[in-house]
Chain A
């Protein structure tokens, strides 16, 4: 039987999500799938479009890869808009040809509405929807000083922030009397305006633009109906969106009065072979301008095409929680209290800049809606009350009062019904989470992997963790934070105990706060904590037995019991003379020599007793230990930068050397890697490191918590255009916060993912000093940098410490008989007959 053809028009967020869902279903085998996209790029994350201005590329925002499409057997034709639809013949037409279909999916999204103002075709007028739009805005902004956004809604404010990040004086012109008229009320809008103006964005409300003409002091001049005017170099229209229903209209499908392709609960249009999902679809007279409802439609349609009779789209919640120009804004359900009999409770703290409003039912039992400005910490709880119809407490106002003034604690996870939606992006309910836990998932990471919860916008991270911990505890899975049988504490707890009580030895710690003698889990952890807190030599008598063999002998043990040696080569920069010394030492001791991925040289095959001799020679030549054995800073990789490279904009090698010298020797929960690239071409692959630095015209962009290895993760952009001092200060803070709060063997990537509130929280702590600890973190880091000593130098100079390096204490000349060698590719390598 030959396959049927399924055509999808539109390769946006919802179209892509549909394909992901559909190809994973059994019904997919019956179809050839063909996808047309008008944009030239593969589907990308439009929700995070603005990040394109702060360093993200299309590849970062892309939702899939061309390889994925090929691998799934999907034919993807980008840059090829569908121009006509013939429903009788079941044919679509593009500039390149005609294609027949059996089933057709319209996922054409929407287009920005530009009000019919005279002069709107001017070259420096833009909309804000696609990557191409942003490229055009960026180009225009380069020569400009100011920019106006027409429209003070959610997207308009985001666009204003983007203009600001491009270095323009930003203005917002809004027709209504307040900002975000759809989501906010008068008080909320006024507070938001106040906060945004504080950030330097000028807000003009109740302004109707009559025409746009050439300006005198800037490129353009906007005239308003009240005879005032505003001059600006560019204009971005953000006055709402309209469903892209042109094909549907032209082919006679039923469309709504104000646009939108009419669909039923199965997301099928008035033609049974044509379906519509996402922002182009009109369901129950409603358009959904958010991504989560579009995803739900996509899932529904995938089930419908698998002949699932129960599949139905039943509407979606339009509540939103966001940060606009750094200001928390939340809007839930019936925010304006339009339900008959609805009553309001307001809390307004002008001093703190917090506004909260609850809309409750006439009987006072249920929460219908809410508005939050300035502080979204009450959002999750309020949303759960509203979505799940949970009965309000007798004094509902306690829900929005600050804690300490009679405010109620957040709603516990037990109060949520099984149907409560925890992650709306991926439609995961509390019941789903309980399901995977019952099926054997025993931690947060497992639940995330199984359900995809919290892998969308991430807004539900904290709630998800609460629910998972609570369910695990109920099932008797002790969510044990105990390090091991000797300490009933987490690494972070131990750090505190050591620091606060000034504890300097393992023995004191275990006798006061633990039991037994310790083991290979807790000893290295405590060793690392003591090293971070007091920075004493790791071979100080009390510390020796705490270390892993690699730390004890300050080299990396290899499979036959010999060691490898990695001297530090900061930034990968080395003089020919030093390189010759490495070669000479390697030759003398017959060490297998290899260049590492971190731009240094690894010398293998030294016996225990050779280590101090070899280091004596290396130190004499000016080398220092590279800490390749420690849970500490490894290397700061760098590209050659602007000293040589014609693209470079900063001295990346110089910065790498500064960073490497600053953080060398710092003991951490796990190894830490850094890199510095001299321009956005990123030759040093900084974004795969714990700390990645990329040069910009104005300074440095800092990326944090990336990872290579087994579980690769791109680092997140953390701060932009930092000066040298700002860069170092920021890294100081993050690194010390990591050292203090991470778990044993937790790389920065996992640490950040497990921080409640994730990246945003980390930014608050580090960039806004929300915990008030930044000064302490910096001081601590300064102390460590000041007391740095090369451990090998100290060791070779101390005869007592050198005693540790005897292979057999009673027979110094005795060679270890199991260390047998052979030659391969001109170098020595071990032969080891395993027992």
Chain B
């Protein structure tokens, strides 16, 4: 049975930093949102928690691409994570959670399991 999901507005376009990440708080925990304006789609959301240190820091990593895939490098121990799949490039056994993310007008919508503030029907 698929858990019920909700689209939640987490922030606005002005909050985003091009080519970089920001963190938002959700009931599922902290999520890192990345905005890469030169890609399509341009928005990515993965867990903000760095699985190697346990610290909430991934939004503060450097973004880019490796072999054409969008990535972020952990600011602590420098592992790379694929922004589309959450897979760690250095360690097959590690994946961070990814979240569906949408641009709705000026709002950024994130799909999480819990209803938050302003829910939008999925």
Contact = CB atoms under 8 A, between A and B. Distances in A.
Interface residues of A, number: 39
Interface residues of B, number: 39
A817 to B, nearest CB: 8
A557 B57 contact: yes
Interface in A521-567: 522-524, 541, 544-550, 552-553, 557, 559-561
A517 B83 CA distance: 14
Q: Which of B57, B62, B63, B76 has the most CB of A within 10 A?
A: B62
B99 to A, nearest CB: 14
Given A516-B65, A809-B11, A832-B55, A545 B23 contact: no
Contacts of A523: 62, 64
Given A545-B20, A809-B23, A520 B56 contact: no
Given A519-B66, A809-B15, A814 B61 contact: no
Contact of B64 (A518, A547, A560, A832): A518
Contact of A549 (B22, B23, B53, B60): B60
A548 B62 contact: yes
A520 B78 contact: yes
A818 B58 CA distance: 14
B112 interface: no
A832 B56 CA distance: 11
B17 A544 contact: yes
Interface string B36-66: 1011000000000101111111001111111
Interface string B11-28: 100010111101111000
A835 B54 contact: yes
A811 interface: yes
A811 B19 CA distance: 22
Contact of B20 (A544, A557, A807, A833): A544
A834 interface: yes
B100 interface: no
Main secondary structure of the interface of A (DSSP, over half): loop
Contacts of A519: 62, 64-66, 71, 73
B62 A545 contact: yes
A520 B20 contact: no
B54 A808 contact: no
B25 A810 contact: yes
A561 B55 contact: yes
A557 B60 contact: yes
A65 to B, nearest CB: 38
B55 A818 contact: yes
B64 A818 contact: no
A438 B6 CA distance: 60
A816 B30 contact: yes
A317 interface: no
A485 interface: yes
A809 B13 CA distance: 11
Contact of B54 (A541, A803, A806, A833): A833
B75 A810 contact: no
B75 A809 contact: no
Contacts of A557: 57, 60, 75-76
A145 interface: no
Nearest to A833: B54
A818 B17 contact: no
A553 B64 contact: no
A810 B11 contact: yes
A242 interface: no
Interface in A588-605: none
B11 A549 contact: no
B10 interface: yes
B67 A810 contact: no
A834 B53 CA distance: 6
Contacts of A559: 53, 55, 76
Given A517-B36, A808-B30, A810-B24, A561 B65 contact: no
B30 to A, nearest CB: 7
B111 to A, nearest CB: 15
Given A804-B17, A809-B23, A549 B57 contact: yes
Contacts of B11: 809-810
A541 B19 CA distance: 10
Contacts of B20: 544-545, 552
A811 B62 contact: no
Contacts of B24: 808-811
Nearest to A522: B64
Contacts of A545: 17-20, 62-63
Q: Which of A541, A552, A808 has the most CB of B within 10 A?
A: A808
B10 A810 contact: yes
Contacts of B60: 549, 552-553, 557
Contact of B70 (A486, A517, A835): A517
B23 A520 contact: no
Given A544-B17, A548-B75, A808-B30, A520 B25 contact: no
B105 interface: no
A125 to B, nearest CB: 65
Contact of A517 (B22, B25, B51, B65): B65
Contacts of A833: 54
A807 to B, nearest CB: 7
Contacts of A541: 18
Nearest to A557: B75
B119 to A, nearest CB: 14
A134 to B, nearest CB: 51
Interface string B74-87: 01101010000000
Nearest to B73: A520
A426 to B, nearest CB: 37
Nearest to B24: A810
Contacts of B17: 544-545, 804
A740 B21 CA distance: 31
Contacts of B54: 560, 818, 832-835
B61 A809 contact: no
Contact of B38 (A517, A520, A553, A818): A517
Given A557-B75, A810-B24, A549 B61 contact: yes
B55 A485 contact: no
A809 B33 CA distance: 10
Given A816-B30, A835-B54, A809 B22 contact: yes
Nearest to B38: A517
A118 to B, nearest CB: 76
Contacts of B23: 807-809
A208 B23 CA distance: 87
Contacts of A832: 53-55
Q: Which of B23, B68, B76 has the most CB of A within 10 A?
A: B23
A546 B80 CA distance: 16
* 3 tightest A-B CB contacts, nearest first: A545-B19, A549-B75, A519-B64
Given A804-B17, A816-B56, 4 more contacts: A517-B36, A809-B10, A832-B55, A835-B53
Interface of B: 10-11, 15, 17-20, 22-25, 30, 36, 38-39, 49, 51-57, 60-68, 70-71, 73, 75-76, 78, 80
30 contacts: A485-B67, A517-B36, A518-B64, A518-B65, A519-B64, A519-B65, A519-B71, A520-B61, A520-B80, A524-B62, A544-B17, A545-B19, A549-B75, A553-B60, A557-B60, A561-B55, A803-B15, A804-B17, A806-B22, A807-B23, A809-B10, A810-B11, A811-B25, A816-B56, A818-B49, A832-B55, A833-B54, A835-B49, A835-B52, A835-B54
